[in-house]
């Protein structure tokens, strides 16, 4: 069925491919006719840009050819244009480290250009911001887009470039889950377009601006509609978001002579996501299939990855497990290709080198300014005795500056001390919160045997009265029978009293002063004990809370040499988070939700694995990498310090040489895996 749906769309794209080939042939013909090297270089860079969206190898060939010719001719604008083409090629194929490195090389060249300097710098910073946004480096993203806006304001020429810069800021805010700020930036973009055209109708302005666009703006204009739809989607205005994405698609196919299938993919995938959430699974598969096939054909790895993920999700909804697993496997392969450890290290190294370069430039500038001041003072000294007075005045100023610096140093030290005290208070609050959780669980544990003791004591009192009556009436047999019941009740009282005693001893053991000494510990018993304490603590706070708990403890586990109080606090923190997530999801569901928590232990050759899995709200992929950071929390203000998982990470990794990780393969499940070495 999907193939039938794709035939008309691919027919349209085939017509587009013919138009692209005709355009490429035209540019090649212009190269032959060009009378100077600079024109040839610009034409070769333009061909590289066009090829980037559907023939990466040819794009790289013409980009390198243009760069080498521009370097030989020392043609600065040609070098910048070639680097921009090579950046677009690397971006398309998902080689973000090379893309970043390419633009960083272009910036110092653009800074030396006599003409079009600020416009070129703006494009370089916008491109770098785009790469940082894909890699999740949002502070650097915002910094680069702000630099782009400043450069465009310096040029006072390309009003359309500043629109793209504000659009990049808007999309960055969306990635950081700040829809209000994103909408403000996008509204500013749309208002600027309407003002340029002299109209109050913002929606029509997005269409009518086309004749005023240059080739760079035309090739990415569909992204404006994608940004508009993304803002609507963040505000949960799904019907408006769907219409915006469809507008972007219509805008693209309204100009079939243009080549930019790359930016069209975002509209396809975003529209498909909206349709899937609306229950229109077949339509979702249709548009995602378009995006997947086009991205695979043109090697758009970033969009191919997103399309494969969405197809896997859609087929899972249709209960077509084989297709879902197929596309999920494809997504994993592409993800490993784009975000492999080697590429991430390369990207980080390039980014770090750029930071060092900027610091060195700032230091060199400071040294230059210092030398200039020094030479000026020496010159004045040799010119006139007046310099003596100037030096004296400067000396006084320096003394005042030193006094001010010392005062500022003391202020900074005081602020640092206050910050450390605050941090210690937060850590103490986290520990006290954990102690409160333990106390609530222990109180619930003790309450059960105490209830038994009280109940059997009351029954024995009544039985003693009945036994006295039987003796008085001369019924010794009945009296002795009652005495037997009393004996049984006393045995029960003794049994439950010992149970309460063991609970109290366990509480004292876990509350004794922490020495950090390791001791041989039964990990199964420790995990089970804190599981019961956490569950009873949750029940003590919310009587309506229930959860199906299943355990699968490996009976072959050996005792581990560890600090039981610390590992117990790790378990307690993960259990508490799991029960909190389940409780929140239970409150949101109208019915049909079955809360579950599963705890498993497994002995490996050199390690022991402890898996804690719940079916609560789950943890979004966007924040999965931040959960072990200090003070990061998703709970409302006042309900969490954000130190629990950070302390757990420190205990497991730094104190016990183990690992702790999060598995977020399924959006509706959360699984923590703690691995401890056998020593």
Region 462-475: mean pLDDT is 82
Measured between alpha carbons, how far is 678 from 634 in angstroms, rounded to an integer? 34
Q: Check residue 657 and report its DSSP letter.
A: S
Give the model's pLDDT for residue 611. Answer: 94
21-115 CATH, one of 3.40.50, 1.25.40, 1.10.3470, 1.10.620:
1.25.40
pTM flag (> 0.85): no
Measured between alpha carbons, how far is 140 from 354 in angstroms, rounded to an integer? 12
Q: At what angle do helices 386-472 and 564-588 cross, to 10 degrees?
A: 80
Q: Residue 125: left if φ>0, alpha if ψ -120 to 50, beta else—which one?
A: alpha
Task: Please report, for residues 129, 157, 172, 231, 638, the alpha-carbon distance to residue 240 in angstroms, rounded to integers and kept in the order given.
Answer: 28, 33, 21, 10, 36
Residue 135 in this model has a pLDDT that exceeds 80: no
Residue range 282-314, pLDDT digits in tens: 999 999 999 898 888 877 778 888 899 999 999
Give the model's pLDDT for residue 515. Answer: 53
Which of the residue ranges 34-38, 483-487, 498-502, 507-511 would you say has the lowest mean pLDDT?
507-511
Region 66-86: mean pLDDT is 86
Give the model's pLDDT for residue 522. Answer: 92
Residue range 343-391, pLDDT digits in tens: 667 666 776 666 666 666 667 667 767 777 777 777 777 777 888 888 8
| DSSP string covering 495-511 | HHHHHHHHHHHHHHHHH
Which of the residue ranges 21-30, 112-121, 479-488 would you say has the lowest mean pLDDT?
21-30
Residue 523 in this model has a pLDDT that exceeds 90: yes
What is the C-alpha end-to-end distance of the chain, expressed in Å? 58
Token pair for 556:
């072959």
Measured between alpha carbons, how far is 324 from 296 in angstroms, rounded to an integer? 17
Give the model's pLDDT for residue 4. Answer: 37
Region 527-536: mean pLDDT is 89
pLDDT bracket for residue 334 (50, 70, 90)? confident
Handedness of CA 272, 277, 278, 280 (dihedral sign): positive
Measured between alpha carbons, how far is 144 from 139 in angstroms, rounded to an integer? 9
Measured between alpha carbons, how far is 570 from 590 in angstroms, rounded to an integer? 32
Which of the residue ranges 441-450, 492-501, 514-523, 624-633 would you say has the lowest mean pLDDT?
441-450
Q: Check residue 518 and report its DSSP letter.
A: -
Give the model's pLDDT for residue 249. Answer: 84
Token pair for 321:
């497990």
Residue range 218-259, pLDDT digits in tens: 656 777 778 888 888 888 888 988 898 898 888 777 765 555
Alpha helices per DSSP H over 318-385: 321-338, 341-383
Give the model's pLDDT for residue 434. Answer: 54
Give the model's pLDDT for residue 16. Answer: 44
pLDDT bracket for residue 424 (50, 70, 90)? low
Token pair for 213:
């666009």
- Which residues, including other chains, have CB under 8 Å from residue 596's CB and lie 6 or more apart? 547, 548, 549, 550, 582, 614, 615
Asked if the domains 21-115 and 522-677 are classified in one and the same CATH topology, the answer is no
Q: At what angle do helices 523-541 and 386-472 cross, to 10 degrees?
A: 90
Region 100-125: mean pLDDT is 83
Which of the residue ranges 168-177, 450-459, 479-488, 520-529 would you say has the lowest mean pLDDT?
168-177
pLDDT bracket for residue 11 (50, 70, 90)? very low
Residue range 561-588, pLDDT digits in tens: 999 988 988 998 999 989 988 888 888 8
Q: What is the CATH number of domain 522-677?
A: 3.30.565.10
Region 121-132: mean pLDDT is 80
Q: Helices (H) and strands (E) in the chain — how many of each?
A: 24, 7
Region 396-413: mean pLDDT is 84
CB 601 within 8 Å of CB 523: yes
For the chain, the structural domain boundaries read 21-115, 152-259, 522-677
Bridge partners of 561, per DSSP, are 520
CB 335 within 8 Å of CB 305: yes
Q: Residue 616: left if φ>0, alpha if ψ -120 to 50, beta else—which one?
A: beta
Looking only at the bridges linking them, the beta strands covering 607-614 and 596-603 are antiparallel
- Cβ-count burial 29-58 (b if 16+ within 10 Å, e if not): eebeeeeeeeebbbbbbbbbbbbbbbbbeb
Residue range 188-210, pLDDT digits in tens: 777 777 777 777 776 666 666 66
- Which residues, including other chains, have CB under 8 Å from residue 202's CB and lie 6 or more apart? 190, 191, 193, 194
Give the model's pLDDT for residue 14. Answer: 42
Which of the residue ranges 7-11, 52-56, 92-96, 190-194 would you say has the lowest mean pLDDT?
7-11
C-alpha 6, offset from chain centre: 33
Measured between alpha carbons, how far is 467 from 460 in angstroms, rounded to an integer? 10
Token pair for 368:
């230059």
Give the model's pLDDT for residue 652. Answer: 93
Measured between alpha carbons, how far is 242 from 304 in angstroms, rounded to an integer? 21
Residue 539 in this model has a pLDDT that exceeds 80: yes
* Residue whose pair of structure tokens reads 């910036």 in the numeric block: 107
* Residue whose pair of structure tokens reads 């960055």 in the numeric block: 172
Handedness of CA 179, 184, 187, 188 (dihedral sign): negative
Give the model's pLDDT for residue 8. Answer: 38
């Amino acid at each position: 069925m999907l193939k039938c749906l794709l035939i008309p769309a691919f027919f349209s794209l085939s017509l587009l491919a013919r138009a692209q080939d005709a355009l490429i042939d035209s540019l090649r013909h212009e190269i032959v006719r060009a009378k100077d090297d600079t024109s040839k270089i610009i034409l070769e860079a333009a061909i590289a840009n066009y090829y980037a969206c559907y023939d990466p190898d040819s794009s790289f060939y013409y980009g390198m050819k243009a760069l080498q010719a521009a370097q030989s001719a020392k043609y600065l604008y040609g070098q910048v244009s070639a680097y921009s083409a090579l950046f677009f090629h690397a971006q398309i194929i998902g080689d973000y480290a090379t893309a970043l490195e390419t633009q960083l090389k272009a910036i110092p060249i653009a800074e030396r250009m006599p003409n079009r300097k600020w416009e070129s710098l703006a494009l370089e910073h916008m491109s770098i911001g785009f790469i940082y946004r894909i890699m999740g480096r949002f502070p650097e993203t915002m910094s680069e887009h702000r630099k782009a806006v400043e450069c465009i304001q310096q040029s006072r020429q390309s009003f359309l470039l500043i629109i793209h810069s504000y659009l990049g800021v808007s999309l960055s805010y969306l990635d950081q889950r700040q829809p209000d700020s994103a909408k403000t930036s996008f509204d500013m973009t749309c208002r600027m377009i309407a003002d340029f055209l002299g109209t109050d109708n913002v929606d029509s302005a997005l269409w009518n601006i086309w004749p005023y666009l240059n080739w760079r703006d035309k090739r990415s204009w569909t992204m404006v509609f994608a940004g508009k739809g993304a803002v609507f989607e963040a505000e949960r205005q799904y019907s408006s978001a769907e219409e915006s994405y469809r507008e972007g698609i219509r805008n693209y196919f309204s100009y079939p002579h243009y080549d930019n299938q790359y930016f069209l993919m975002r509209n396809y995938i975003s529209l498909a996501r909206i349709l899937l959430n609306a229950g229109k699974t077949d339509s979702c598969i249709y548009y995602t299939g378009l995006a997947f096939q086009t991205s695979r054909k043109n090697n758009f790895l970033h969009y191919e990855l997103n399309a494969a993920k969405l197809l896997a999700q859609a087929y899972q909804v249709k209960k077509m497990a084989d297709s879902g697993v197929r596309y999920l496997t494809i997504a994993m392969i592409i993800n490993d290709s784009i975000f492999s450890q080697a590429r991430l290290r390369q990207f980080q190294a390039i980014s770090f080198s750029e930071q060092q370069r900027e610091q060195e430039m700032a230091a060199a500038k400071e040294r230059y300014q210092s030398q200039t001041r020094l030479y000026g003072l020496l010159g004045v000294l040799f010119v006139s005795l007046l310099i003596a007075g100037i030096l004296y005045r400067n000396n006084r100023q320096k003394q005042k500056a030193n006094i001010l610096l010392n005062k500022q140093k003391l202020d900074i030290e005081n602020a640092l001390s206050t910050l450390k005290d605050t941090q210690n208070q937060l850590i103490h609050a986290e520990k006290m919160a954990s102690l409160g959780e333990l106390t609530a669980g222990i109180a619930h544990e003790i309450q059960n045997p105490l209830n038994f003791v009280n109940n059997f004591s009351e029954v024995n009192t009544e039985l003693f009265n009945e036994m006295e009556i039987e003796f008085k009436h001369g019924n010794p047999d009945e009296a002795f029978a009652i005495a037997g019941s009393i004996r049984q009740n006393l045995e029960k009282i003794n049994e439950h009293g010992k149970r309460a005693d063991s609970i109290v001893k366990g509480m004292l053991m876990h509350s004794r002063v922490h020495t950090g000494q390791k001791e041989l510990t039964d990990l199964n018993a420790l995990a089970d004990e804190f599981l019961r304490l956490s569950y009873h603590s949750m029940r003590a706070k919310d009587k309506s809370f229930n959860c199906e708990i299943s355990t699968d403890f490996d009976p072959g586990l050996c005792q581990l040499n560890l600090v039981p109080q610390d590992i117990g606090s790790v378990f307690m923190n993960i259990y508490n988070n799991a029960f909190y997530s389940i409780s929140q999801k239970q409150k949101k569901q109208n019915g049909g939700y079955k809360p579950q928590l599963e705890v498993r232990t497994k002995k490996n050759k050199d390690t022991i694995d402890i898996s804690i899995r719940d079916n609560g709200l789950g943890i979004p992929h966007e924040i999965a990498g931040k959960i072990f950071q200090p003070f990061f929390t998703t709970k409302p203000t006042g309900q969490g310090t954000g130190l629990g998982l950070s302390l757990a990470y420190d205990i497991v990794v730094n104190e016990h040489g183990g690992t702790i990780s999060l598995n977020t393969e399924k959006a509706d499940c959360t699984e923590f895996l703690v691995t401890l070495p056998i020593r």
